C-alpha cells in the first residue's frame, strides 16, 4: 500500500515534468534559445532548488543563463562556502552547432530540480550554462553534415564571428569575459566544457580529456589521469558507455603508431582553467553516433562526473589549494617551455574499424585540404581493436627561465584590464625608480598570412638583454609569487606560444612607424621583485 501511495503521489510531478525539444521531437530537433529559457523558467517556478542569473549579454543582445542548482536553493558562492558545499561548473554549446551537451545538461537540470539523483546534490552546488553561445545557436541550418542528426543546428561562431573556445587569453567576447568573471566569483572545483567531434571513425560515444596545457601544475595532471579518468570511466561503463581519451590518429595511414591530442594551448577553455590551478574536463561526443545516443551518452557522462565530484570534491579542492601554494613559491625562477615535442601520456584501447587507403587522383587533389597528404582513408565494416598510446606536445624542447615578476610599461596599460579580470594581482607604480631589468629585443617577427580570430598571430625571435632602466610612474608590477602565476606567465612572457604578444595585443608598440624595424617589447622582466611605491589594483 505504501509503495502504491508513493507512486500515486509522484504521478502529478511526473506529468508536469517539462521535456526538452529533443525529447519532444523524438530526438530529431534541438532546442532554440527560447526553448532553453522557457524550460529553465518553468523549472524555477516549480522548485526552490533552481536559481537563475546571467553570465553576460551576447553581441546580439541575448542574455546567457547560468542555472544554479542546489538542495538548499543557494544563490551565492558565500552561501555555498558557509554550508561547506563545493561548486561544479558545466557548460555546453560554446560551439553552437554541437548540441547534445545542451540537451543533456537541460535534462540533468530538470532531473536534479525534480528530485532525481538526490545524492548528486548532497555535497555540492552545480552551475549549468546550457547555451553559452546563444547567437550561434539561433543560426539554424544544415551546417554539420557529418553529424548523425539533428538535421538543423546552429553554427560554431558567436555573434562577432569568433570561436569562443579560442578566446580565453585575449578575452574579446562578452561571453568569455562574463564566464571569467563567474569563475573568479564562484571558483568551481571543476569546469566541464561539452562538445561534439567527428574525427576518427570509432565505436565509442564519449571521448574526453582533462586540462592539458604543459604549464599546468603536475599534481592536477597526475590526479586527473590516475584517479579521476579511471573512476569516471568505470562509472560510465556501468551506465553502458565506454569513454576514451579525445584525439586522432598520429598517422591516418598507420593507426598503430598512436593517438594524438594537440590542443594544449591556453586559448582553450579547459586548459585556461587548468592554469588557474583548477580541474577541468573537455567532453567531445562522437558525431557519427545517432543524436539520441549522443544525448544519452552526454547525460551519462554528466552523471558520472557529478558522482565523482560528490565523493571527491573536497580532496580535489585540497589538491588545488596546494597547487596555489606551489604557484606562489615555485613558479618564479622555474623553467618555462616555449616549444614542445610529443610526450606519451597513457595507453588505452580503441574500438574502431579496419581502414582502406586510396590515393587521390592528381586531378582531384585541389578538392582536398593539404593535410590529407594526397590520400583518403576510408572505413570498412570490419571492426578492429587498436592498442594505442596517447601523445601530446608536452615535452619541452626549448625553455626560458621565468623572472620574479614583470613590469608593464604605460604603453601596454591595456593589458592590465585583462589581467585584473582574471584575478591576477597587479600593482600600479606611483613613483619612478631605477631597476635592473631584462628587456626582450625583437629580432624577427612573422605574422600569419591569414587572420585567425581577427588577429595575425605572431611568431617572434629575439633575445633578452640586461640593463638598468628608469621605470616611469604609471607602470605596473605583476609579481609571480601569487596563485595565478602560471596564467600570468603564459599571458606576459614574450616568447609564450599563447601570450599577449602572440595574439597581437602588443602590435602597436612592436614596430615603431618611423623606423619600420622591430622594437622592444614593453614588458620588462625582473629577477627580484622591486620595493616600489605602488597601489594594489582591483
The pLDDT of residue 490 is 98
Nearest alpha-carbon partner for 332 in 161, 538, 483: 483
Query: What are the helix and strand counts (H, E) for the chain?
Result: 14, 19
- Which H or E run includes 534? strand 534-536
Angstrom distances, CA of residue 121 to CA of 166, 310, 318, 422: 32, 8, 20, 28
pTM summary value: 0.95
Are 414 and 523 in contact by the 8 Å Cβ rule? The answer is no
The pLDDT of residue 13 is 44
Are 109 and 40 in contact by the 8 Å Cβ rule? The answer is yes
The pLDDT of residue 6 is 42
Q: Are residues 138 and 287 in the same domain?
A: yes
The answer as to whether 243 is a domain residue is: yes
The answer as to whether 367 is a domain residue is: no
Query: Where in the sequence is the domain holding 86, given as residue range(s)?
Result: 2-330
If one counts the domains in the chain, the total is: 2
Rounded to 5°, angle at Cα 369 from 165 and 389 = 65
The pLDDT of residue 8 is 41
The residue out of 330, 356, 385 marking a domain boundary is: 330
Q: Are residues 311 and 414 in the same domain?
A: no
Q: Are residues 312 and 410 in the same domain?
A: no
The pLDDT of residue 5 is 43
Taking only the tens of pLDDT, the chain with its 538 residues reads 444 444 444 444 444 689 999 999 999 999 999 999 999 999 999 999 999 999 999 999 999 999 999 999 999 999 999 999 999 999 999 999 999 999 999 999 999 999 999 999 999 999 999 999 999 999 999 999 899 999 999 999 999 999 999 999 999 999 999 999 999 999 999 999 999 999 999 999 999 999 999 999 999 999 999 999 999 999 999 999 999 999 999 999 999 999 999 999 999 999 999 999 999 999 999 999 999 999 999 999 999 999 999 999 999 999 999 999 999 999 999 999 999 999 999 999 999 999 999 999 999 998 898 888 899 999 999 999 999 999 999 999 999 999 999 999 999 999 999 999 999 999 999 999 999 999 999 988 899 999 999 999 999 899 999 999 999 999 999 999 999 999 999 999 999 999 999 999 999 888 776 667 777 899 999 999 999 999 999 9
Q: Are residues 275 and 409 in the same domain?
A: no
DSSP for 299-363 reads HHHHHHHHHHHHHHHHHHHHHHHHHHHHHHHHSTTSEEEEEEEEEEEEEEEEEEEEEEEEEPPGG
The pLDDT of residue 514 is 67
The answer as to whether 380 is a domain residue is: no
The residue out of 315, 330, 345 marking a domain boundary is: 330
Q: Are residues 165 and 252 in the same domain?
A: yes
Tell me the three cell numbers of residue 111.
532531473
Q: Are residues 324 and 419 in the same domain?
A: no
Tell me the three cell numbers of residue 173.
567576447
Q: Are residues 89 and 207 in the same domain?
A: yes
The answer as to whether 255 is a domain residue is: yes
The residue out of 330, 346, 367 marking a domain boundary is: 330
The answer as to whether 398 is a domain residue is: no
The domain that holds 91 is classified in CATH as 3.40.630.10
Are 92 and 131 in contact by the 8 Å Cβ rule? The answer is yes
The answer as to whether 161 is a domain residue is: yes
Are 327 and 485 in contact by the 8 Å Cβ rule? The answer is yes
Q: Provide the 3-class DSSP secondary structure of residue 419.
A: helix
Q: Are residues 416 and 285 in the same domain?
A: no
Q: Are residues 414 and 313 in the same domain?
A: no
The pLDDT of residue 531 is 93
The answer as to whether 483 is a domain residue is: yes
The answer as to whether 99 is a domain residue is: yes
Amino acid at each position: 500500500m505504501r509503495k502504491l501511495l508513493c507512486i500515486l503521489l509522484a504521478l502529478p510531478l511526473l506529468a508536469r515534468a517539462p521535456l526538452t525539444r529533443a525529447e519532444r521531437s523524438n530526438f530529431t530537433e534541438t532546442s532554440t534559445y527560447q526553448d532553453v529559457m522557457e524550460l529553465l523558467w518553468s523549472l524555477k517556478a516549480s522548485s526552490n532548488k533552481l536559481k537563475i542569473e546571467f553570465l553576460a549579454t551576447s553581441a546580439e543582445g541575448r542574455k546567457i543563463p547560468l542555472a544554479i542548482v542546489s538542495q538548499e536553493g543557494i544563490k551565492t558562492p558565500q552561501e555555498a562556502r558557509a554550508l561547506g558545499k563545493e561548486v561544479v561548473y558545466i557548460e555546453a554549446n560554446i560551439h553552437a552547432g554541437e548540441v547534445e551537451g545542451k540537451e543533456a545538461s537541460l535534462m540533468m537540470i530538470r532531473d536534479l530540480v525534480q528530485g532525481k539523483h538526490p545524492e548528486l546534490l548532497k555535497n555540492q552546488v552545480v552551475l549549468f550554462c546550457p547555451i553559452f553561445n546563444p547567437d550561434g545557436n539561433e543560426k539554424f541550418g544544415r551546417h554539420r553534415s557529418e553529424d548523425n542528426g539533428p538535421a538543423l543546428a546552429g553554427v560554431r561562431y558567436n555573434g562577432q564571428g569568433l570561436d569562443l573556445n579560442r578566446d580565453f587569453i585575449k578575452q574579446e567576447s562578452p561571453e568569455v569575459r562574463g564566464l571569467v568573471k563567474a569563475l573568479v566569483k564562484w571558483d568551481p572545483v571543476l569546469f566541464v566544457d561539452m562538445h561534439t567531434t567527428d574525427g576518427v571513425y570509432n565505436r565509442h560515444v564519449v571521448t574526453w580529456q582533462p586540462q592539458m596545457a604543459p604549464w599546468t601544475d603536475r599534481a592536477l595532471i597526475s590526479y586527473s589521469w590516475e584517479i579521476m579518468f579511471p573512476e569516471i570511466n568505470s562509472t560510465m561503463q556501468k551506465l553502458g558507455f565506454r569513454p576514451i581519451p579525445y584525439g586522432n590518429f598520429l598517422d591516418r595511414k598507420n593507426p598503430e603508431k598512436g593517438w594524438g591530442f594537440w590542443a594544449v594551448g591556453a586559448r582553450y577553455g579547459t586548459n585556461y582553467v587548468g592554469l588557474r590551478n583548477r580541474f577541468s574536463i573537455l567532453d567531445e561526443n562522437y558525431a557519427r553516433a545517432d543524436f539520441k545516443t549522443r544525448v544519452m551518452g552526454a547525460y551519462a557522462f554528466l552523471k558520472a562526473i557529478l558522482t565523482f565530484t560528490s565523493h571527491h570534491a573536497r580532496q580535489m579542492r585540497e589538491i588545488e589549494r596546494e597547487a596555489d601554494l606551489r604557484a606562489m613559491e615555485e613558479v618564479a625562477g622555474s623553467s618555462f617551455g616555449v616549444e614542445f615535442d610529443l610526450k606519451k601520456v597513457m595507453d588505452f584501447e580503441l574500438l574502431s574499424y579496419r581502414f582502406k587507403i586510396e590515393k587521390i587522383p592528381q586531378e582531384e587533389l585541389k578538392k582536398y585540404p593539404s593535410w590529407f597528404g594526397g590520400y583518403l582513408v576510408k572505413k570498412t565494416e570490419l571492426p578492429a581493436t587498436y592498442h594505442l598510446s596517447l601523445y601530446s606536445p608536452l615535452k619541452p624542447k626549448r625553455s626560458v627561465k621565468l623572472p620574479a615578476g614583470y613590469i608593464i610599461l604605460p604603453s601596454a596599460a591595456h593589458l592590465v584590464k585583462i589581467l585584473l579580470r582574471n584575478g591576477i594581482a597587479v600593482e600600479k607604480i606611483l613613483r619612478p625608480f631605477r631597476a635592473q631589468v631584462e628587456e626582450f629585443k625583437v629580432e624577427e617577427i612573422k605574422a600569419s598570412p591569414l587572420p585567425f580570430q581577427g588577429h595575425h598571430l605572431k611568431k617572434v625571435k629575439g633575445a633578452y638583454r640586461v640593463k638598468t632602466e628608469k621605470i616611469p610612474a604609471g607602470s605596473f608590477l605583476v609579481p609571480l609569487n601569487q596563485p595565478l602565476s602560471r596564467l600570468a606567465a603564459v599571458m606576459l612572457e614574450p616568447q609564450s606560444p599563447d601570450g599577449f604578444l602572440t595574439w597581437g595585443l602588443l602590435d602597436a608598440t612592436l614596430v615603431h612607424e618611423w623606423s619600420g624595424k622591430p622594437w622592444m617589447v614593453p614588458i620588462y622582466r625582473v629577477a627580484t621583485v622591486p620595493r616600489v611605491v605602488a597601489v594594489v589594483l582591483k
